[in-house]
Structures are given as C-alpha cells and as structure tokens.
C-alpha cells in the first residue's frame, strides 16, 4: 500500500481487475525501446523545397500509467451519478447554483464560502454544442456524437455532456432530459442528454437556417459512417437505431 | 522604467514532422539569429527564457535544460514558463519584465514544440489534457470540439456564418503561400485556394472544417530582447514593446455563465445581447467571447497610448487556433463593438491590403502551430514586417506592409483561460 494511502479505509472497491491488467502493462516498461526504424527524411533549416536529406534512427518506446485520482469534495456529484442522482452545489450567501459543482463559491463577494449540496432535476437546456465528426481514440467508435454544454434546470453554469440525438437534431435552447446509462462508474459518461420529444428547431437556429450547412454535414456524415463500417464493423443502421431508441425512451 | 525592444530572432522552419530533435532545431534558429546579428557575442546574453508547452509529447521533463546547454548558454540564469497556447507569449512578456525591472539588459527567448512523436489522436488527447480532465475531457471533448461549441454560441448570438469562417480559412492559405517557411506551402505548394475549395473540405467539429483548425507542427524560434541601453548595439531598427497586458478566465468554459469575476466589469459588452435567447447570469464573456483578451487589451492600449486600435495599428498577428476565435477577438480587442466581428471580415478590414491586415504570416492554421514557438514565430514575422525585411527574408515582397509602424500580437491558452496582448512599434 502506498504511504500516502495508509490512513484511508476502502468503503467500496471496483478496481482490482483493472489493477491486474495494468500491472502486466507496466512490466513492459516505460521508456524502454521496443523497436526502431531507419528513415531518410528532409533535414536542415531552409525555406520550403530547399532541404537536404539525412538518415535518422526512429525508436519506438511506450509510456502508459494508471492514476488513482480523488475527485475531492465534489465526489458526491460522481457518487450521485452511480446512484442515479444529479447534484449541484449552492452558495448560501449569493445563491449561485453550480453544476459542475464547486465546493467553494467563486464569487469574490462570498470570500470562498463553502457551498451546500442540492439535488437537481434531470432536465435542462442546451447552451451550446458541437457536432463531432472526428475525436480522440477513446471515442472514435461513438462517432458521430454531439458534444454539448447543458444548463441543468435550476443551475447557473453549464455541464459538459454528450447529447444522444441525430446529429442535426440539436440547437441552442433545446430542452433535454438527462438519462443514466446501465453501467456506471462515476464519470460524466455515466449520463447523457436526449431532446424532449415534440420540439422543432426555432427559425433562428444558425444550423437549420443554413441549407448548405445541413447538406455539407450530411455529405461528411456519410464519410463517418463509411469509416465506422471499415474500422469497427458498425453499420449506419445501428448508429441510427441508437438515436431512435434514445428518443423513444 | 527602462524600455525594451526585440532586436533580432531566428526560426527553425516548422513542419508536420521534423527529424532533427528540439535542441537541434533551437540551435538552427539560434544560428539564424547569430548570422543576422554579427554584433552579438553569445556571451553577452544574460538570461535564457525558455518556452515549451507539453511534457507529455516528448517523454521528457525539464527539456529547457537540454536546450540551454546545447546552445552553450548554460551557467547563466534561465527557466521555462508554461501556460498551454499562451506559453510563448508569456515567455516574451516575462523576458520583458526581466529587462524592464533593470535586472538584465539582454535576454534570449527560446521556444519550440515537437508534436508528432505520437499519433494524431494521441496528440489531440495530450493537448486536451490542458482542459479540465475531470469534466470537459471525459465526455469526448478535445479542443476542436470545445472551440466549435464556443464559436457556435457566438455564431448563434451574433450572426456570422460558415462563409465568414471560410473567408478567413482561404485568406490564411492565400497568405501562407507567400511565406516560404509555412507548413501550408510545404504541404500544398503555392497555388491559391477559393471558397469553393473550402466548402469541399471535410467537417471535423461543426461548424469547423479541417482548414479552420490549427496545424500540428514541429518547429522552433528564438527572439533576442534588449534594454534601450544596449538595443542599438544589435539592431539599427529595434522593435519596441510599447505596452503589454495579461488576462485570465475560468478553466471550464461552461462555468462562464455565472462568471462573477467579470460581472459588471464590461457593462457595455453585457448589454449587447440578442433578445431571442435567454441571458445567462453573467452575459459577458460567457461562452461566446474572450474576456481575457478584453482585459489584456485594455491594459496594453493604455500603456501604448492607443485609443483607436484599427486606425493606429498597421498589422496584427492573432492567436486563432480556430478561425471563429478571430471574429470574437476583433470584438474583445475593441476593434468593433461586441457582435460586429463579422463586419471586419466582410468589409475586408482584416484581409491583405485591408486597414488592419491579420495573419499575413498564415497564422496558426496555415503558417504553423508548434505551441511553445508559435507567438515567437508570429513576433519574428512582425519584426521582419516592421523592419521591412520580408522581401529579403521571404524572397517575395507580397506580404510586406509598406511603412508599417505599429503592430499587435495576442496569445492565449486553453479555451481562452489565460492570455495576453503586446503592442510593438518601430
């Protein structure tokens, strides 16, 4: 046991399998060279097109780590996700409701006042969003997805959250419900937002009033579906079904 | 207090992949400085201000120690500053403070970034770990997505269009083809592109296409900063730092809806808000604008004695890793009222030949964005502009703004979490 963790008492442990997996990974060794290439490539500090060529040795060496990270005094928010509840914090002085929660109020008038927990309703409004057609490795198989910032009803700040809906069925001001995934582990991906049914985009929605934007999005979404099929064997129909199911629930 | 000037610099041409390592790249940039500044005895340099962003990208902590000894500048003082994309601008400002305090007369600023030692998705992940990893990162966020969401909010509130973003993307490329050190030119040659080409480019995070996004680069740059006591020993035409400003905003952009530190500070900006959308508790900057830039510009303009930036400035290099950032910055730098940034594009004010041309270098999306070197590259470009060296340096006079006297640079990190503004003049 780490020295740092001597005084703690484990209340619930859902990590042993992961620790075994990572122990094996760590034994492969960080920074140890696993292989190499010799390449010829451009060299020298010149303008474009005036380079010389040289031979370079490229070594391949891994680096992987497993962190144990406390979520601090806002752990209750993430425990709430596991329990199927949505919490924010409220400053007893200025009344600001934070979701994401802050354990201390950041209003200069409140002098770092500790906040109080409040349970929030599982609905809110889209403050802004982006339609993601490319992502980091861990999310590639979930493309295309909507990265949203949702203001939970009763909160004054916006929570980062994925919105599960057809990629062009989203707009600023849209009302959403917050849903919980079956399997949860205390992170924001435990929840997602779905549009409350029956809403139509307002005529001022910058995406929907631009026919070219919608057409270009459709064009490039097809490229994403093709990528999903080639890389992961995921069919477009299955992706569409995911959104339909989310909207129906 | 003593005045401070940029008296020289050098670069190591940035590209997607450079096979030389960072210390060799910095040494090449330093060699360019020494060649251009024969009066400079390396022993005259009193302090080395290092600038690089990521410890992850190269599996190396304390890389500035490698750099400083490699170019033989060890023994004397030196350290690194780091603040994401703001790193190189902060390095220049810190060097300015070191000289302005009277402590040093001659400081070398050295910046670099090597960003292609991991695959593209991992590079994006490493960079995204500069966002809040407990919150923003966990839902599939990375900077393309964050900035796209910020731009979408601004677009919805103030009505710029995808075409406005396209005009900036096209402008940056058609400037960069005249910059023989630009990554765009290395990858695509010297032909111009059109708005139609832009619309054929692939969307990565709506409303952004690939062309709207910063490049991934490996490269380096150095600048030599001097006090007025010694400046003219190294340069006949120093570029003086007339004013600087610094600012910050919240780490998480979603928190800016109840942004108490900004409440009431810029009431005119708070008032310009469309009626069809509900106002957040604190309407400026919220997720639509860059409060740090407004705060920094306010300080810098006062120090530089600037009251009408568009008229008084001749050229600007903005930190726009995504094209929409520029439209917001026009407003936050007080070039126009909030919501009118699109006008600067449509009226051609920020285009080549316009009243205040921006990103003549090609900027972060077409010149390069090796993070720790980016603002140094842009500052060096401005130095060559203000000293009329572009025709000589580029072998092409197209980008030279004849008679340019005053220039602005801004830099920032994160989603506008930290940044600054510098005003230069001949």
Evaluate if residue B238 carries a pLDDT over 90: yes
pLDDT band per the 50, 70, 90 thresholds, residue A71: very high
Residues A29 and A112 in one domain: no
pLDDT at A93: 98
Tens-digit pLDDT profile for residues B271-316: 999 999 999 999 999 999 999 999 999 999 999 999 999 999 999 9
Residue A45 to residue B12, Cβ atoms within 8 A: yes
Task: Specify whether A127 is located in the same domain as A228.
Answer: yes
The shortest CB-CB distance from B13 to any of A45, A94, A213 is to A45
Give me the sign of the Cα torsion angle B119, B120, B123, B124. Answer: negative
Q: Residue A213 domain-assigned?
A: yes
Question: What is residue B122's predicted lDDT score, i.e. its pLDDT?
Answer: 87
Q: Is the pLDDT of residue A3 over 70?
A: no
- Whether A71 and chain B come into contact, CB under 8 Å, resolves to yes
Q: What is the DSSP letter of A204?
A: T
Same domain, A132 and A197: yes
Task: Give the structural domain span for A91.
Answer: 72-119
Residue B58 lies in a domain: yes
Number of separate domains in chain B: 1
- Please write the tens of the pLDDT for every residue from A123-159: 999 999 999 999 888 889 999 999 999 999 999 999 9
Residue A170 lies in a domain: yes
B104 within domain boundaries: yes
Cβ distance A138 to B135 less than 8 Å, yes or no, reads: no
* pLDDT at residue A103 greater than cutoff 80: yes
What is the rounded average pLDDT of the residues A89-108? 98
Number of domains comprising chain A = 3
Closest in A49, A157, A162 to B140, CB measured = A162
In a domain, A105, yes or no: yes
Instruction: Specify if A1 maps to a domain.
Output: no
Q: For residue range B142-184, what is the model confidence (pLDDT) as tens digits?
A: 899 999 999 999 999 999 999 999 999 999 999 999 999 999 9
* Interface predicted TM-score (ipTM) of this complex, two decimals: 0.96
Q: What is the predicted pLDDT for the residue at B344?
A: 98
From the list B13, B135, B142, which residue is nearest A136 (CB)? B142
- Is B240 part of any domain? no
Output the average pLDDT for chain A: 93
User: How close, in Å, is residue A2 to chain B by CA atoms?
Assistant: 23
A7 in any annotated domain: no
A-B contacts at Cβ under 8 angstroms: 189
Domain match, A244 and A127 both: yes
User: What are the φ/ψ torsions at residue B418 (nearest 5 degrees)?
Assistant: -150, 140
pLDDT of amino acid A1 = 46
**pLDDT for residue A6:** 74
Give SS3 for A171. coil
Q: B257 contacts in A (CB within 8 Å)?
A: 127, 151, 156-158
User: Is there a domain that residue A233 lies in?
Assistant: yes
pLDDT at position A63 is 83
| Structural domain boundaries enclosing B10 | 4-118+217-234
pLDDT in tens, B47-82: 999 999 999 998 899 999 999 999 999 999 999 999
pLDDT band at A4 (very low <50, low <70, confident <90, very high): low
For residue B57, being part of any structural domain is answered with yes
Interchain CB contact of A177 with B (< 8 Å): no
Nearest CA in chain A to B178: A48
In Å, how far is A47's CA from the nearest CA of chain B? 5
pLDDT of res. A245: 86
CATH, residue B18: 3.40.47.10
| A29: pLDDT strictly greater than 90 | no
Q: What is the pLDDT of residue A179?
A: 97
Instruction: Decide if A166 touches B, using CB distance below 8 A.
Output: no
């Amino acid at each position: 046991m780490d020295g740092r963790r001597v005084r703690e008492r484990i209340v619930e442990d859902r990590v042993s399998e992961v620790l075994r997996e990572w122990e094996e990974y760590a034994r492969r060794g960080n920074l140890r060279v696993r292989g190499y290439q010799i390449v010829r490539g451009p060299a020298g500090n010149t303008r474009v097109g005036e380079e010389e060529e040289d031979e370079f040795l490229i070594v391949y060496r891994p680096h992987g780590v497993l962190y144990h990270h406390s979520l601090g005094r806002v752990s209750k928010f993430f425990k709430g996700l596991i329990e199927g509840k949505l919490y924010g914090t409220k400053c007893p002085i200025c009344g600001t409701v934070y979701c994401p929660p802050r354990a201390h109020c950041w209003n200069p008038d409140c002098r770092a006042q500790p906040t109080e927990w409040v349970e929030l309703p599982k609905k809110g409004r889209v403050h802004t969003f982006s339609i993601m057609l490319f992502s980091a490795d861990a999310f590639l198989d979930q493309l295309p997805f909507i990265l949203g910032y949702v203001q939970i009803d009763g909160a004054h700040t916006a929570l980062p959250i994925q919105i599960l809906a057809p990629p062009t069925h989203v707009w600023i001001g849209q009302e959403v419900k917050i849903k919980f995934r079956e399997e949860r582990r205390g992170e924001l991906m435990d929840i997602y937002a779905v549009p409350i049914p029956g809403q139509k985009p307002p005529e001022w929605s910058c995406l929907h009033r631009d026919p070219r934007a919608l057409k270009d999005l459709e064009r490039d979404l097809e490229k994403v579906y093709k990528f999903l099929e080639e890389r992961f064997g995921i069919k477009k129909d299955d992706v569409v079904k995911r959104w339909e199911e989310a909207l129906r629930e | 207090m003593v005045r401070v000037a940029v008296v020289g610099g050098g670069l190591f041409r940035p590209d997607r992949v450079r096979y030389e390592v960072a210390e060799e790249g910095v040494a090449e940039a330093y060699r360019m400085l020494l060649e251009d500044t024969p009066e400079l005895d390396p022993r005259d340099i009193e302090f080395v201000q290092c600038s690089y962003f990521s410890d992850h990208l190269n599996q190396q902590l304390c890389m500035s120690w490698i750099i400083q000894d490699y170019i033989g500048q060890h023994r004397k003082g030196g350290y690194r500053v780091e603040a994401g994309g703001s790193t190189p601008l902060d390095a220049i400002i810190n060097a300015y403070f070191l000289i302005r305090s009277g402590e040093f007369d001659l400081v070398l600023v050295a910046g670099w970034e090597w960003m292609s030692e991991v695959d593209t998705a991992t590079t994006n992940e490493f960079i995204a770990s500069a966002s809040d990893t407990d919150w923003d990162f966990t839902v599939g966020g990375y900077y393309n997505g964050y900035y796209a969401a910020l731009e979408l909010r601004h677009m919805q509130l103030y009505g710029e269009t995808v075409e406005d973003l396209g005009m900036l993307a096209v402008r940056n490329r058609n400037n960069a083809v005249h910059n023989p050190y630009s990554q765009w030119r290395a990858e695509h040659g010297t032909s111009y592109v059109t708005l139609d080409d832009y619309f054929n480019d692939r969307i990565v995070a709506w409303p952004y296409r690939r062309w709207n996004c910063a490049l991934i680069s490996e490269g380096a740059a150095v600048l030599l900063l001097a006090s007025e006591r010694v400046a003219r020993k190294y340069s006949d035409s120093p570029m003086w730092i007339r004013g600087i400003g610094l600012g910050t905003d919240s780490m998480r952009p979603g928190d800016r809806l109840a942004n108490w530190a900004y409440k009431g500070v810029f009431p005119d900006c708070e008032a310009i808000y469309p009626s069809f959308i509900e106002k957040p508790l604190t309407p400026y900057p919220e997720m639509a604008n860059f409060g740090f830039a407004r705060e920094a510009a306010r300080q810098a303009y006062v120090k530089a004695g600037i009251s009408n930036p568009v008229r008084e400035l001749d050229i600007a290099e903005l930190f726009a890793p995504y094209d929409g950032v520029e439209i917001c910055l026009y407003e936050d730098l007080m070039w126009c009222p909030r919501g009118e940034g699109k006008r600067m594009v449509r009226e051609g004010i920020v285009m080549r030949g316009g009243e205040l041309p921006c990103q003549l270098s090609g900027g972060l999306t077409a010149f390069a964005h090796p993070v720790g070197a980016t603002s140094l590259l842009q500052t060096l470009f401005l130095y060559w502009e203000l000293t009329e060296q572009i025709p000589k340096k580029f072998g092409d006079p197209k980008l030279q703004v004849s008679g340019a006297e005053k220039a602005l640079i801004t830099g920032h990190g994160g989603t506008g979490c930290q940044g600054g503004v510098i005003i230069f003049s001949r």
